[in-house]
Amino acid sequence: MTPFPGTGALLEHLFRHQAGRMVAHLARLLGPSQLDLAEETVQEAMLRALQTWPYQGVPANATAWLFRVAHNVAIDTLRRNQALGEKTNSIVTELARSATIRPNDPDVEEQLRDDELRMIFMCCHPQISRDVSVALSLKTVGGFSVREIARAFLADDAAIAQRLVRAKRQIREQRLTLDMPRGDELKSRLDSVLDVLYFMFNEGYAAHEGGDLIRQDLCIEALRLGRLVAASSIALPRVHALVALMALQAARLRARVDESGDLILLEYQDRSRWDQQLIGLGFHHFNQSIAGDEVSEYHVQAAIAATHARATGRQSIDWPVILQLYDQLLSLNGSPVVALNRAVAVARVHGPATALAAIEPLESDAKLRNYYLRLAVRGHLLLELGRGIEAAACFRAALECPCSDPERRFLRRKLAECEPL
């Protein structure tokens, strides 16, 4: 018997997602040089929702309401400040025409997805450096605020704000457009888009305090944008491979930490806590990724994640297959970090002594010498070989390296195992 109309619940993250779509849409109409105006307009539209919906109820079509108000705000602002000079009138006409679009109609939805896609491709322009691209993508298409981005990157607000200002200046000065590149340029731009999404995902995936959901939101956003690219006509098999990889990894987000926020290694995770819907999504894209001959790093990494996902328990993990995949990955990308990860599979297949020998050369690598994970893996192998004193030295050294609090607690736990009471 509530006297208020339309008090239905809002979809989770509705505002964040619609903010991204609206900014992308308005940026196409206003031009990419007016990105700030597009963002302020969207902010104002949401503010009006905040001021009226609590009293009047949520309108029947909340998304259409937000779009209409955003268009009207943009029209008012343009009329007032004439920022676009002689182009103002034609843009105002265009805005007025599109003010009443119904964002849920299939045709309009397709146009909006296209707007988002173009925006991602512009944000990932090679002229813009990768960390700036990530922040810019999160801000414009992701609907994240400066503060949220800063929190996710453990940076301060001012640094992120500055990064965004620089990016927008680059867009203006280099006259970057929302046009999709063609031919070879499209392929190389696609690679930088995937690179940015993968980086965004990994930033969110890096071990963190369980309470800070914003970093998980990064993973979910990277996955969402990846699916957006995968659903477009330019989806090469490697796009599906990356989406598969992200979905399979994201499925394990919940199971990675226990109630007290301590890390649980993949092998020991409670598989019933893995998100089956994301695993299903991962396999769906994995199957699409193997159409054709292309084998990218994303393919091999997705295959490793899929092998883990297929195992029904700790005992049934197919380590020989995983080792083969790591060998393949190492031939595609000879990075010492890959070699380090491979060592875990070597230990399972050939025993800890072989694995220990395999990571010996990494000690001379400048980047890895003081990398907590190399020391942790080494400590772990030594412990398995019964060399507790040397293992303890490794964990102690690892604790001296930069790492997050949950990682630190994990290392302390391992250290305690080395020194029986």
Partner 1 sequence: MPQYMLLLYDNSENRDLFHKMSPEEMQKAIEKYMAWTKKPFTRDSKRLAEDLGRVIRSDRGKPRVADGPYSETKEVLGGYYTIEAGNYDEAVKLTLDHPHLEHGGTIEVRQVYGT
The contact set with partner 1 (CB under 8 A) reads 2-4, 7, 9-10, 13-16, 18-19, 42-43, 46-47, 49-58, 143-145, 147-148
**Sign of the torsion formed by the C-alpha atoms of 69, 72, 74 and 76:** negative
Closer residue to partner 1, CB minimum distance, 47 or 165: 47
Closer residue to partner 1, CB minimum distance, 143 or 204: 143
DSSP code per residue over 96-130: HHHTT--TTSHHHHHHHHHHHHHHHHHHT-TTS-H
Closer residue to partner 1, CB minimum distance, 144 or 395: 144
Closer residue to partner 1, CB minimum distance, 14 or 234: 14
Long-range pairs for 220-225: beta carbons < 8 A, 24 or more residues apart: 220/250, 221/138, 221/142, 221/144, 222/197, 222/198, 222/246, 223/247, 223/250, 224/17, 225/116, 225/120, 225/137, 225/141, 225/142, 225/197, 225/200
How many whole angstroms separate alpha carbon 406 and alpha carbon 219?
19
How many whole angstroms separate alpha carbon 278 and alpha carbon 11?
19
Q: Is 175 exposed, middle or buried (0-12, 13-18, 19+ CB in 10 A)?
A: exposed
Compute the least distance from the CB of residue 12 to partner 1, in Å: 9
Compute the least distance from the CB of residue 11 to partner 1, in Å: 9
Closer residue to partner 1, CB minimum distance, 25 or 240: 25
Other CB atoms within 10 Å distance of the CB of residue 119: 25
Are 399 and 412 in contact by the 8 Å Cβ rule? The answer is: yes
Compute the least distance from the CB of residue 231 to partner 1, in Å: 23
Closer residue to partner 1, CB minimum distance, 211 or 334: 211
To the nearest 10°, the Cα dihedral for 231, 234, 278, 214?
-100
Closer residue to partner 1, CB minimum distance, 136 or 418: 136
Compute the least distance from the CB of residue 116 to partner 1, in Å: 15
Compute the least distance from the CB of residue 288 to partner 1, in Å: 31
How many whole angstroms separate alpha carbon 33 and alpha carbon 362?
47
Q: Distance between terminal CA atoms of the chain?
A: 66
Closer residue to partner 1, CB minimum distance, 57 or 181: 57
**Among candidate residues 225, 268, 273, the one with its CA nearest the CA of residue 252:** 273
